[in-house]
Amino acid sequence: NAGVTQTPKFQVLKTGQSMTLQCAQDMNHEYMSWYRQDPGMGLRLIHYSVGAGITDQGEVPNGYNVSRSTTEDFPLRLLSAAPSQTSVYFCASRPQGGTGYGYTFGSGTRLTVV
């Protein structure tokens, strides 16, 4: 059971380039989300999805796009990278509903935009 898998682990982009951060989970979780983690800011929600075909914006969505065509995959797209998007990105998933709201996180993607 792999849990939540993120690729790549590290990436350096030039300003203006685009790229897709991949996230896949094998736990059949309905809910998936993307966070960014910056020093002193904690984790901030970018986008989330409650199921295939359904996405919504979080706290800091600007500059990012998502789609959810399958239950397993939730890619995050940076349309035109900016230095302000230098961060560590985490994908997380959990079952929708239930008595617990524990998230399973991936190991993160460290992105540097130069």
Partner 1 sequence: QKEVEQDPGPLSVPEGAIVSLNCTYSNSAFQYFMWYRQYSRKGPELLMYTYSSGNKEDGRFTAQVDKSSKYISLFIRDSQPSDSATYLCAMTRNNDMRFGAGTRLTVKP
Under the binding rule (CB under 8 A), the answer on residue 41 touching partner 1 is yes
Under the binding rule (CB under 8 A), the answer on residue 72 touching partner 1 is no
1 to 20, contacts with partner 1 by CB under 8 A? Answer: 4
**CA 14, CA 17: separation in Å to the nearest integer?**
6
Q: Which long-range contacts (CB under 8 A, 24 or more apart) does 58-61 make?
A: 58/33, 58/34, 60/36
Contact with partner 1 (CB under 8 A) among 19, 27, 50, 52: 50
DSSP annotation string for 86-110 = -EEEEEEEE-SSSS----EE---EE
Contact with partner 1 (CB under 8 A) among 14, 28, 62, 100: 100
Q: How far is the CB of 96 from partner 1 (least distance, A)?
A: 9
Under the binding rule (CB under 8 A), the answer on residue 34 touching partner 1 is no
Q: How far is the CB of 108 from partner 1 (least distance, A)?
A: 6
Is residue 45 a contact partner of residue 95, using CB atoms and an 8 Å limit? no
**CA 15, CA 30: separation in Å to the nearest integer?**
34
User: Contact positions toward partner 1, by CB under 8 A?
Assistant: 4, 31, 33, 35, 40-45, 48, 50, 56, 58-59, 90, 92, 99-108
